[in-house]
């Protein structure tokens, strides 16, 4: 594997580890709860818990029911659990969304830098061809590629085309 690829992999891993290390205690707790609640062990735990609860309260195990049918206490506990789990998931999702936004910004910056560098390289090649007396001004696509690209213009064009395509679907 090329050294640059290994270096990039190490850099990405380092950035991810740094980001993970920067999480607050609350974010770590929310991530841990979200991680556990997203596993089958969580489902199995609830199946056993609900099964035992219902069996106890239907007097199937020989104990006096403490939450008889329709299991009002169980319903309240499960509702509270759902509220808290949803909140923990949202906290984790918000953090992951912010992290994804930072990565998208990095991707955009690198893409813009690459575009700028390639445009400059094409202009330099054009200048070299001119200096060497090579005719190169007949390819319109190449001339278009030598123009600086402005992200806001590209975004406007994307929106224009998407609007036109949306109009065709309706």
The domain limits of the chain are 3-37+70-169
Q: Count the Cβ atoms, other than its own, within 10 Å of residue 31.
A: 17
pLDDT at 87: 94
SS3 1: coil
pLDDT at 74: 96
Task: Give tens-digit pLDDT for 73-131.
Answer: 999 999 999 999 999 999 999 999 999 999 999 898 899 899 899 989 988 988 898 88
Global confidence as pTM: 0.66
Task: Give tens-digit pLDDT for 49-82.
Answer: 999 999 999 999 989 999 999 999 999 999 999 9
Q: Tell which residue, 111, 142, 141, 112, has the closest CA to residue 126.
A: 142
Cα 36 from Cα 43, distance rounded (Å): 10
Angle (CA) 153 156 159, round 5°: 150
Q: Which helix (H) or strand (E) holds 53?
A: helix 40-57
Max CA-CA distance within the chain?
100
Q: What percent of the chain has pLDDT over 90?
A: 51
Torsion (CA) 105, 109, 111, 113 in degrees, nearest 10: 180
Predicted confidence band at 170 (pLDDT cuts at 50, 70, 90)?
Answer: low
């Amino acid at each position: 594997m090329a050294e640059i690829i290994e270096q990039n992999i190490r850099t990405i891993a380092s950035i991810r580890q740094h980001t993970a290390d920067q999480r607050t205690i609350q974010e770590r707790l929310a991530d841990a709860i979200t991680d556990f609640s997203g596993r089958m062990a969580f489902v199995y735990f609830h199946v056993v818990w609900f099964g035992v609860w219902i069996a106890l309260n239907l007097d199937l195990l020989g104990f006096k029911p403490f939450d008889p049918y329709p299991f009002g206490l169980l319903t309240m506990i499960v509702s509270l659990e759902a509220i808290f789990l949803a909140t923990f998931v949202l906290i984790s999702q918000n953090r992951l969304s912010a992290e994804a936004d930072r990565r998208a910004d990095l991707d955009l910056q690198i893409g813009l830098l690459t575009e700028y560098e390639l445009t400059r390289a094409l202009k330099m090649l054009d200048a070299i061809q001119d200096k060497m007396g090579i005719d190169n001004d007949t390819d319109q696509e190449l001339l278009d590629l030598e123009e600086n690209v402005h992200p806001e213009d590209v975004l406007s064009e994307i929106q224009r085309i998407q609007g036109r395509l949306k109009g065709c679907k309706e």
